[in-house]
Amino acid sequence: MAKPTYFYGIHAIDALLNIRPLDGLSLFIQKGRETDESIQALIETAQANGISIQYAQKDNLTQLCGSPQHQGVVIHARPMSFADEGELDNFTAKDDCLLLVLDQITDPHNFGACLRTAVAMGVDAVICPKHHAASLTPTVAKVAVGAADMIPIISVTNLARTLGQLKQAGVFIFGTALDETARPIQQADLTGKVALVMGSEGEGMRRLTSEHCDELVFIPMPGNAQGQLQSLNVSVATGMALYEVVRQRQ
C-alpha cells in the first residue's frame, strides 16, 4: 500500500474530510489562521472524525506539502486511489452515461483542471491509461479543488481495449482532433451514451485510441485563430467540449 502523503488547500482537504474521513491522519493548521471561518470548519470536521490537530508555522507547512499554495492547511492522509476497472459496467448501464477519457494527459495541473470540469459538467466517470498519465497526487487534488475525491477515476491497463468494451456496451466514442476528417463538435449528436476522448496538447490522441473512436470532432475557432492557435489547453478544450454535451442534453 502507498505511504500516506500530505494534501493541501482548503477545498481539497474539505472534500477529503467529507468523502473519505477515515483516510485522514493529522491536520496541520498555520498558526494564526485557526480563527478563519473556512479553517474552523475543517478543524471541527477533523475532530469529529478523531483526526489530530497540530499547529505549525507557514514555512513548516510549505516544507510538509512541498508547495506554498497550502492556504494555511495541510493534512497527512492516505493517498487517493483509482476506481476499479470493473466498475465501468455500472456507468455504461445508464442510458445517458457520459464518460471522459483522458489520453496521455501527464501534466498534474491539466489533469486536476479536467477533473474539476468533469464534476461541474456531470460526468459519470473519468478514464485514463495506467501509463503515460498523471497520478493522483496532492497537486492534482489541489488544482481540482476537491473534485478528485468526488468522481470515480478509472485507470485502465489497455485504453484501446477499454474503448472497444465501451462500444460493445452501446457507448458512442467521440474523439477530439485537429483532423481533416473531424467535424465541428456542435454538429455531432452528443446525446445518449457518450464517451469523449481528449488527447494531450502536443501529440493529441494516440493512433490506436483514434482508431477506436466512432467519430472525430473539433472545437471551431473563428477567423485567424484557427491558423494561429493549433490547439487549446487541454483543460480549456475539455470544458468547452463538455459544455456542448450538456447544452445538447438540456
Last residue of a domain, one of 25, 52, 77: 77
Give, in degrees to the nearest 5, the angle at Cα 54 between 6 and 67.
Answer: 35
pLDDT at 230: 53
pLDDT at 223: 57
Same domain, 28 and 132: no
Same domain, 111 and 177: yes
Same domain, 99 and 26: no
Cell digits of residue 197: 476522448
Last residue of a domain, one of 39, 58, 77: 77
Kindly write down the DSSP assignment for every residue of 122-163, as one continuous string.
T-SEEEEESSSS----HHHHHHTTTGGGTS-EEEES-HHHHH
Same domain, 59 and 90: no
| Mean pLDDT across 80-107 | 93
Same domain, 14 and 131: no
Is residue 171 within 8 A of residue 165, CB to CB? The reply is no
Q: Rounded distance, CA 44 to CA 62, Å?
A: 23
pLDDT at 153: 97
pLDDT tens-digit series, residues 215-245: 999 988 775 454 444 567 899 999 999 999 9
Half-sphere exposure of 124 (CA within 13 A, CB side): 20
Give the single-character DSSP code of 193.
S
pLDDT at 231: 63
| Mean pLDDT across 100-115 | 95
pLDDT at 210: 87
Same domain, 178 and 215: yes
CATH number where 163 lies: 3.40.1280.10
Domain that holds residue 106: 85-249
Strand partners, 156: 129
pLDDT at 228: 43
User: Letter for the amino acid at 132?
Assistant: H
Is residue 212 within 8 A of residue 177, CB to CB? The reply is no
| Mean pLDDT across 171-200 | 92
Is residue 102 within 8 A of residue 153, CB to CB? The reply is no
| Mean pLDDT across 51-79 | 96
pLDDT at 160: 93
Q: Rounded distance, CA 187 to CA 212, Å?
A: 20
pLDDT at 78: 95
Distances (CA, A) of 112 to 23, 117, 133, 225, 244: 20, 9, 12, 26, 20
| Mean pLDDT across 202-206 | 79
Cell digits of residue 54: 497540530
Q: How many CB atoms lie within 10 A of CB 210?
A: 19
Q: Rounded distance, CA 99 to CA 125, Å?
A: 5
Q: How many CB atoms lie within 10 A of CB 111?
A: 27
| Mean pLDDT across 100-113 | 95
Same domain, 52 and 137: no
Q: Is the dihedral of CA 195, 196, 202, 206 positive or negative?
A: positive
Residue 82 confidence (pLDDT) above 90: yes
| Mean pLDDT across 141-166 | 94
pLDDT at 227: 46
Q: What integer best gives the mean pLDDT of the chain? A: 91
Number of domains composing the chain: 2
| Mean pLDDT across 46-59 | 96
Last residue of a domain, one of 45, 77, 109: 77
Cell digits of residue 89: 459496467
Residue 204 banded pLDDT, cuts 50, 70, 90: confident
